[in-house]
Amino acid sequence: MKTHILFFAVVTSFSHAQDGVIDLTQLHNYANQSRPAYIANRDNTPVNNPITDAGATLGRVMFYDKRMSRNDTISCSSCHQQARGFSDTAIASTGVAGTTGRHSMRLINSRFGNEAKFFWDERAASLEAQTTQPVRDHVEMGFSGASGDPAFAELVNKLNAIPEYRVLFAMTYGSATINETNIQKALAQFVRSIQSFDSKYDAGRAVAADNQPFPNFTTSENNGKALFINPPGAGGAGCAGCHVPPHFDIDPNSANNGVIGSLAGGIDLTNVRSPTLRDLVGPGGSSNGPFMHNGAFTTLNQVVAHYNAVPNNPANTNLDNRLRRPGNQTQNLNLTTQQQSDLAAFMRTLTGTAVYTDVKWSNPFDANGELDVIILPGSVESSLGAQNATFQMSCKVAPGLTYTVEKSTDLQVWTAIGTATPDAQGNITFATNIAPPQAFYRFKYTP
Ligand code: HEC
Ligand code: HEC
C-alpha cells in the first residue's frame, strides 16, 4: 500500500467521498448523528472515550486495513461486512489461520444497550477491551505472540512505520504516539458510530407507543409486534423480556436461550448475549447471515419455531428461567403457523437502509487496496507587512508532527527554508522577513 499525504489548499478538488481519499478538512459526522428521542438512553460510551469525528475516521481506516493482520490478508471488515449489517453469511468466518469458533456478530447499534459486555459469551468487559481481541487472536488476525505469531508490539511497530497512521493518530489524540489503548479507543469509536434507526419500526414508533398498533404496519406485523411484546402469560411470546424495545438490545440478566450446540462439537452453555435484533435481514429481505452463536438457523421462521418449543435438554443447566416451566418443563408457546409468521414479519420491520450504504461506514481504501491521499487541514492566512516587509503565515494542521517550511517564486520549484511545529491545538505559524522578488510559502508534511 502506498500513501500520499498532501497538505495545502490546492488539493481541495478531490471529493471527500472518493475511495482512497481521507479528507481531514471535511470529516464525516460521527460525533453528532441524530437519533430518535426514544433512543437517548442505554448508551455504553465511557466518559473517557466519546466519539470524535477524527477518532472514528482513524477507527474506520484500521477497521478496513488488512495490515492489521499478521500477513496482510484479513481486516475486521473481512468478517464484519457493511452490506451484511457488519456480519458474515458464513457460519464460521475465515481468519489468518482457520475459521472462527462462533458466528460473526452484527455490529449495529453496539453503542446502545444495557449490557455493556461484548461477545456472545460476554467475555469482553467493554467494547474498548473487545476491539483488540480479534487482533490478538491466533485464528482471526494473528498478533497473538504465541504459536509462532508476532506479538501485539509488532503491530504497533508496523503502524508506526505507516505515515498515514502517524497523521491520523496525531489528528485524533494530539500526538502521533501509537499504543494499544489508543488503537482500542479509535476502533470502539468507529463501531459505536454504526447506527441504524431508519426502519419501518422507527417510522411507526415515532407516531405510536409500542403497545398501540402502528399505522404503517400490516395486520400481520402489528400482530407480530403484540406477540413479541406481550409475556406468555398474556397470550404473547415474551421476546421483549430479553430483547428489549425500542433498542431490541439484550437484557443483561439473560441466561442462555436453549441454543447450546458448539461449532467445535459438544455443547456450550455460555452464550447469553445477542446483538440487537435490528437488521437481522437486509433491506432486500435476505438474512444478513445465519442466526445464533452457532448459525443454527437460516430463517426467522426457524428461530420462532425454536422459541415455540424450547428443547428440553437436562444438560442445559444455564437455560434462562423465563424459558422454563414448572415440573422440569421448557417453554411451549403453541403458536399457530400464522402467529409464527407474524413474529417473523415483525422482526423484518426492524431493518434500516442507510447503514448498508452510507460512505462514512464504508471501505476508505481504493480498488487496489490503497489509501491514495490524506488531505490535511490548512487554510493559510498570509499577511504582507507593508512597512517592515515581514511575512507571517499561520494555519491549522494536524498536531504532533513537524512540518517543513518551503519557499517558491514560481509555485513550481519549492525549496525548504526551515521547519515548524504546531501547538497542541494544531495552530502553526511561520514568520520571515521577505526580500524581493515576491515569494510563496507553504507548510509541508513529509512522511
Ligand atoms: C476472522 C473473523 C473476524 C475478524 C477478523 C474480526 N471479527 Fe469481530 N467477531 C467475529 C466473531 C466470530 C465474533 C463473535 C465471537 C464470539 O463471541 O466468540 C465477533 C464479535 C465481535 C464483536 C462483539 C459484538 C457484540 O455485540 O458483542 C465486536 C464489537 C467485533 N467483533 C468487532 C471487531 C473488530 C473491531 C475487529 C477488527 C479489529 C474484528 N471484530 C475482527 C469475527 C471476526
Ligand atoms: C430468556 C431470554 C430470551 C428470550 C425470552 C428470547 N430470547 Fe432471543 N436470544 C436470547 C439469547 C441469549 C440469544 C443469543 C443466543 C445464542 O446465540 O446462542 C438470542 C438470540 C436471538 C436471535 C438471534 C440473533 C442473532 O444475531 O443471531 C433471534 C432472532 C431471537 N433471539 C429472537 C427471539 C424471539 C423472536 C423471541 C421470542 C419468541 C426471543 N428471541 C426470546 C435470549 C432470549
Please write the tens of the pLDDT for every residue from 285-328.
999 999 999 999 999 999 999 999 999 999 999 999 999 999 99
Which of 140, 158, 193, 293 is the pocket-test mutation for ligand 1 (most atoms within 8 Å of CB)? 140
**Atom of ligand 2 lying closest to residue 292 CA:** 17
Is 50 exceeded by the pLDDT of residue 82? yes
Q: What is the Cα–Cα distance from 101 to 105, expressed in whole angstroms? A: 12
Q: Which residue in 102, 77, 78, 140 sits closest to 296, CA to CA?
A: 102
The cell for 369 is 487496496
- Give the list of residues 6+ apart from residue 1 with CB closer than 8 angstroms, or none: 67, 162, 365, 369, 370, 371
Which band of pLDDT confidence, cut at 50, 70 and 90, is reported for residue 434? low
**Atom of ligand 2 lying closest to residue 323 CA:** 1
Radius of gyration of the chain (CA): 26
Q: What is the Cα–Cα distance from 387 to 372, expressed in whole angstroms? A: 43
| pLDDT the model gives residue 445 | 79
For residues 165 and 443, the answer to whether their CB atoms sit within 8 Å is no
Identify the residue whose C-alpha is closest to ligand 1 atom 13: 104
Is 60 exceeded by the pLDDT of residue 204? yes
Identify the residue whose C-alpha is closest to ligand 1 atom 37: 76
Which of 80, 84, 182 is the pocket-test mutation for ligand 1 (most atoms within 8 Å of CB)? 80
Q: Of 97-106, 220-229, 306-315, 387-396, give the lowest mean pLDDT range.
A: 387-396
| pLDDT the model gives residue 216 | 98
**Atom of ligand 2 lying closest to residue 289 CA:** 27
**Ligand 1 contact, 110 CB (< 6 A):** yes
Distance 115 CA to ligand 1 centre (A): 16
**Ligand 1 contact, 440 CB (< 6 A):** no
Which of 60, 61, 79, 159 is the pocket-test mutation for ligand 1 (most atoms within 8 Å of CB)? 79
> Which is higher by pLDDT, 395 or 253?
253
Instruction: Give the burial class of 391: count Cβ atoms within 10 A of its Cβ; 0-12 exposed, 13-18 middle, 19 or more buried.
Output: middle
Identify the residue whose C-alpha is closest to ligand 1 atom 39: 76
Which band of pLDDT confidence, cut at 50, 70 and 90, is reported for residue 436? low
Which band of pLDDT confidence, cut at 50, 70 and 90, is reported for residue 386? very low
Which band of pLDDT confidence, cut at 50, 70 and 90, is reported for residue 3? very low
> Which is higher by pLDDT, 35 or 412?
35
Q: Which residue in 414, 407, 418 sits closest to 382, CA to CA?
A: 407
| pLDDT the model gives residue 165 | 92
Is 50 exceeded by the pLDDT of residue 160? yes
Is 60 exceeded by the pLDDT of residue 382? no
Q: Of 144-153, 161-170, 216-225, give the lowest mean pLDDT range.
A: 161-170
Q: What is the Cα–Cα distance from 390 to 202, expressed in whole angstroms? A: 60
Identify the residue whose C-alpha is closest to ligand 1 atom 35: 131
Distance 310 CA to ligand 2 centre (A): 11
For residues 210 and 441, the answer to whether their CB atoms sit within 8 Å is no
| pLDDT the model gives residue 16 | 44
> Which is higher by pLDDT, 409 or 268?
268
